[in-house]
Amino acid sequence: MRVEPSGEACGAVVTGVDIAEELTADLVAQIRAAWLEHRVLAFRDQAMDDDALERFTIAMGGFGEDPFFAPIEGHSHIAAIRREADETSPLFAENWHSDWSFLAQPPAGTCLLAVDIPPVGGDTLFADQHSAWEALPAERRRQLEGLTAIHSARYAYAPKGTYGEGDKGRSMDIRPSETAMAMQSHPLIATHPETGRRGFFSALGYIIGIEGMPEDDAMPLLRELYAWQTRDEFVHRRTWEPGMLVIWDNRAVLHRATGGYEGHRRELHRTTIAAQA
Ligand code: SIN
């Protein structure tokens, strides 16, 4: 297995390994080590179907919970991230986020498998949250340590949210629900449970407030942090290729989708990797 770092704040390309096959414990350990080191891995030239995607996800730690998405037929843990060539609804997942950070046990990681890749555009961007934290002046870090963020899916998946009742003409099978109104607290700055590195966890969007802080103070702070967390120097750009599987560490990076493929279809199959017990 060869691992070539992107040269950006995070991300690496992996070749010389067939991850569609049953993986040995030794290979899983090598992949997990590379994943923890680089936070985002892109496996090139794979021949994976949905069964292989499920096998790989189980080997990496098992399935996480996936609310608000209807799974694809026959695979209860796979969701299709899809956009038809003539679709005009706003892009899915265009804001920076960490997947399902509003859950009590957010997923450790996400796997995204190329199914139908447009000839241009549709890159996925990743922002390394360890680098973003470590680059802050010590005095600013001291001010932010100990804050607790309030997370919720309400602005995205509640009936009145972005993907709620008013969201028409979307080919993705999203199921908005009142359960999206729930709130869940997590430390704003978290210690990665496997590497011990400190970093921001999630961002404004799924974070809707700070415990004990008036909204008039919390929102400007969260907006300021969002701008810092997603600065160009922390960002890795992943351009998709047919046969590519990308996995990322939600405990260490934010990500977002990009457009630029109008008139072309795009489909990727997604699983989440459960938090480690
Ligand atoms: C996602 O956030 O799961 C989708 C990212 C993408 O479509 O590039």
Residue-wise pLDDT for 239-256, tens only, equals: 999 999 999 999 999 999
State in Å: Cα 256 to ligand 1 middle. 6
Q: For the purposes of burial, counting CB atoms within 10 Å of the CB of 188, is it exposed (0-12), middle (13-18) or buried (19 or more)?
A: buried
pLDDT tier for residue 92 given thresholds of 50, 70 and 90: very high
pLDDT at position 253: 99
pLDDT at 211 over 90: yes
How many domains are there within the chain? 1
pLDDT at position 169: 95
Find the mean pLDDT for residues 76-96.
Answer: 97
pLDDT at 276 over 90: no
Length of the chain: 277
Q: Report the SS3 class of residue 55.
A: helix
State in Å: Cα 18 to ligand 1 middle. 24
Q: For the purposes of burial, counting CB atoms within 10 Å of the CB of 205, is it exposed (0-12), middle (13-18) or buried (19 or more)?
A: buried
* CATH number of domain containing 114: 3.60.130.10
Provide the domain limits for residue 75: 2-273
* Rounded alpha-carbon distances, angstroms, from residue 12 to 32, 40, 85, 207: 13, 6, 30, 28
136-156 pLDDT per residue, tens: 999 999 999 999 999 999 999
21-50 pLDDT per residue, tens: 999 999 999 999 999 999 999 999 999 999
Is the distance from CB of 39 to CB of 8 less than 8 angstroms? no
107-120 pLDDT per residue, tens: 999 999 999 999 99
Find the mean pLDDT for residues 209-238.
Answer: 98
pLDDT at 163 over 80: yes
Minimum-distance ligand 1 atom for the alpha carbon of 258: 8
Minimum-distance ligand 1 atom for the alpha carbon of 270: 3
Averaged pLDDT score across all residues of the chain: 97
| Ligand 1, CB cutoff 6 Å, lining residues | 81, 93, 124, 255, 257, 270
pLDDT at position 88: 94
pLDDT at position 223: 98
Pocket test for ligand 1, best of 94, 268, 269, 272 (most atoms within 8 A of CB): 268
Residue of 272, 189, 192, 200 whose CA lies nearest to 234: 200
pLDDT at position 130: 98
pLDDT at position 123: 98
pLDDT at 277 over 90: no
What is the residue whose two structure tokens read 């949905």?
Answer: 50
pLDDT at position 262: 96
Cα–Cα distance measured from residue 159 to residue 178, given in angstroms and rounded to the nearest whole number: 6
Residue of 65, 13, 32 whose CA lies nearest to 271: 65
pLDDT at position 83: 98
Cα–Cα distance measured from residue 221 to residue 156, given in angstroms and rounded to the nearest whole number: 21
Is the distance from CB of 126 to CB of 239 less than 8 angstroms? no
pLDDT tier for residue 272 given thresholds of 50, 70 and 90: very high
Minimum-distance ligand 1 atom for the alpha carbon of 97: 2
Q: What is the largest CA-CA distance in the chain?
A: 53
Find the mean pLDDT for residues 104-109.
Answer: 98
